[in-house]
Amino acid sequence: MKSLTKIALAAGLATTATAAPASAQVNGIGTSDLPIAVVGSQAFQTGYQQIATQYQAQRTTVEQRQQQRTQLVQQLDTNGDGQLSEDEANAAPQATVQQVQAIDQEIQQIQRPINLARIYVVQQVAQQYAPALQQVVSAQNVQIVLTPDAIVYAPEAANLTPAVVQALNTRVPSVQITPPAGYQPSEAAVGLFQQVQQVLLMAQMQQAQQQAQTQTQQPATSGR
């Protein structure tokens, strides 16, 4: 039995396809997580990879600007917390503060089309979430579906998300990465995109921790 947490689910679904059990519910009750189901879908992963390729030059520019910004902030960060507080900004040379602000604006402008493409991908997959979930609910005779946030503990057998991912892969095998002209995402789409980005961030953090642990264990193993 496992505690159903977003971090555990992100580590499983965000990095690789997970086989769904034949029946994922306990006494007619199951759990499903929309952001993690989206991240786990093949259409999402392929779409994000295509966006990364298409906007590689812009992403490289953003990384360079972020490095420049970090160097500037370090010069002004008197308390060493990695952030530029209001007091530090007021005490800093105005020209440097304006340079940081200009970099922030440039980064936002560069990232806007990238994020719009990502939101469009997320939205297309999410539009098939409800019918995919209904398909799983009907197939497994589930009576109640909860989000993981609504419960404190549940057995892994209650997790419907992998089955929903499989249903999504059938219903939406691919998506478009170029939004239509004049595309304006809804607040709900933007909110879901932010949740998806958080899932990816948590998965990356967990992978980094696992890699660090592996590197720490290797010298101990080789020294035996």
Token code pair at residue 177: 């990465």
Beta bridge partners of 29: 26, 144
User: CA separation (Å) from 192 to 113, 118, 120?
Assistant: 17, 11, 11
54, burial (CB in 10 Å: exposed 0-12, middle 13-18, buried 19+): middle
Token code pair at residue 163: 């089955």
Q: What is the dihedral of CA 177, 179, 180, 184, to 10 degrees?
A: 160
3-state SS, residue 83 = coil
Q: E strand or H helix at 190, and its extent?
A: helix 187-222
> What percent helix, strand, coil does the chain show, rounded to 5?
70, 5, 30
The pLDDT of residue 3 is above 50: no
Q: Which residue type sits at 13?
A: L
pLDDT band for position 218 (50/70/90)? Answer: low
What is the DSSP annotation of 22-75? S---BTTEEE--HHHHHHHSHHHHHHHHHHHHHTHHHHHHHHHHHHHHHHHHHH
- The pLDDT, as a whole number, for residue 93 is 84
The pLDDT of residue 200 is above 60: yes
Per the CB < 8 A criterion, the answer to whether 177 and 121 are in contact is yes
| pTM for this model (two decimals) | 0.80
Please compute the mean of the pLDDT values over residues 186-209 and round it to a whole number: 92
pLDDT digits (tens, 9 = 90+) for 121-168: 999 999 999 999 999 999 998 899 998 888 888 778 889 999 999 999
Per the CB < 8 A criterion, the answer to whether 185 and 120 are in contact is yes
pLDDT digits (tens, 9 = 90+) for 20-47: 555 556 678 899 999 999 999 999 999 9
